[in-house]
Amino acid sequence: MTSTSTPGGEAARPFLRVCNLVKAFGPFLALKDISLDVMEGEFVCFLGPSGCGKTTLLRAIAGLDLQTSGGIEQAGRDISLLPPSQRDFGIVFQSYALFPNLTVARNVAYGLESLGLKRAEIDRRVADLLELVGLPDQGAKYPSQLSGGQQQRIALARAIAMSPGLLLLDEPLSALDAKVRVHLRHEIKSLQRRIGVTTIMVTHDQEEALSMADRIVVMNHGVIEQVGTPAEIYREPATLFVADFIGAMNKLPVRVEDAEHARLGETRLQCRPHALDPGAEATLAIRPEDVVPVEGNGTGSANRFAVTISEMEFLGSFWRAWLAGPAFGAAGLEADFSVNAIRRLGLEEGKQLTVELPADRLHVFAGAGVDEDG
């Protein structure tokens, strides 16, 4: 469980509580004792590889696929066994799921019409919603006349038409091309902030989660590996899986020496404090952007290495370099250098230089590898 405090120091009450949730498909456990609190107005992303359980968890919250055991509360109400029609949520799917035979306006109005509202009131609400999603003049068109990004905006408008307490987004951007995705994710986040609806989004796209979420729930094989803000997940990964799944990461096999040192071959490195036993095999992890080029050729620090640039790749705002050195074995070391650093130090393929691995950026995890299959 997670907890949050109000500015006055009082414990804020979670809007959604998932308690010890288990979902079994025959002998296979898709969810293994999942517990999670989501605060009111929060934007939470369920992130993980295919088959990790993130969509199963979303469907359980929606009542579309009931859990085997465990409970779910929303706004203090037990909804564990309620059908979807009796739960307070709107949902947007990857496939848009718009009615092709209805106009855009009728698609948005679909849920409102079942409330028995007057036509003028429905029309006003639809007009407001189309304005909200930036498509005020598209009401008379049919879904087939809209682009994918526009269709997804209409699906979003329909989902929030009934002012639900909870908005569920199931990979809403994965069917769109890259440029549209980047644009729409900013629009969705901005919209969520404006209307203040508690939102849960499922995604396998780490960049999407990092840019949109207030908190990220990283899942793997039916369990939660870590819950935290995007900065916490990226900078303070709790497990080797999280470190490897979120962003690029160098992984080096080491042997633990003590709580703040590990041995890479014959080299003793200072690293972040950890709780592993001396002598244990472990993995040292550092992000490419944390590898620091050092002016001059000195290797006075234990965390400095003489290397040769074996390959370089231009990625726009920075260069990715592959560094070879006896300490790093055949795999070498990836480093991201700014354009300014490349110019200042005259870095190019074949160039020899010294790099430092800052101790506060060297994570040590148990084991000698990471499960890649997700």
pLDDT mean across residues, the chain: 92
> Residue 345: inside a domain, yes or no?
yes
> Residue 311: inside a domain, yes or no?
yes
pLDDT at residue 286 above 80?
A: yes
19-33, 241-255, 302-316, 359-373: the lowest-pLDDT one? 359-373
Q: What is the mean pLDDT of residues 62-90?
A: 97
The domain boundary residue, chosen from 135, 163, 191: 163
> Residue 307: inside a domain, yes or no?
yes
17-26, 109-118, 230-239: the lowest-pLDDT one? 109-118
Number of domains in the chain: 2
Give me the percent of the chain exceeding a pLDDT of 90: 84
CATH code of the domain in which 278 resides: 2.40.50.100
The domain boundary residue, chosen from 163, 179, 211: 163
> Residue 86: inside a domain, yes or no?
no
> Residue 206: inside a domain, yes or no?
no
User: What pLDDT sits at residue 302?
Assistant: 74
pLDDT in tens, 144-189: 999 999 999 999 999 999 999 999 999 999 888 988 999 999 999 9
pLDDT at residue 258 above 60?
A: yes
The domain boundary residue, chosen from 116, 133, 163: 163
pLDDT at residue 307 above 90?
A: yes
9-18, 75-84, 236-245, 325-334: the lowest-pLDDT one? 9-18
Q: How many Å separate Cα 35 from the centre of its chain?
A: 18
The pLDDT-based confidence of 373 (bands split at 50, 70, 90) is very low
> Residue 175: inside a domain, yes or no?
no
pLDDT in tens, 199-208: 999 999 999 9
pTM check: above 0.85: yes
> Residue 264: inside a domain, yes or no?
yes
> Residue 293: inside a domain, yes or no?
yes
Can you give the residue range of the structural domain that contains 332?
248-366
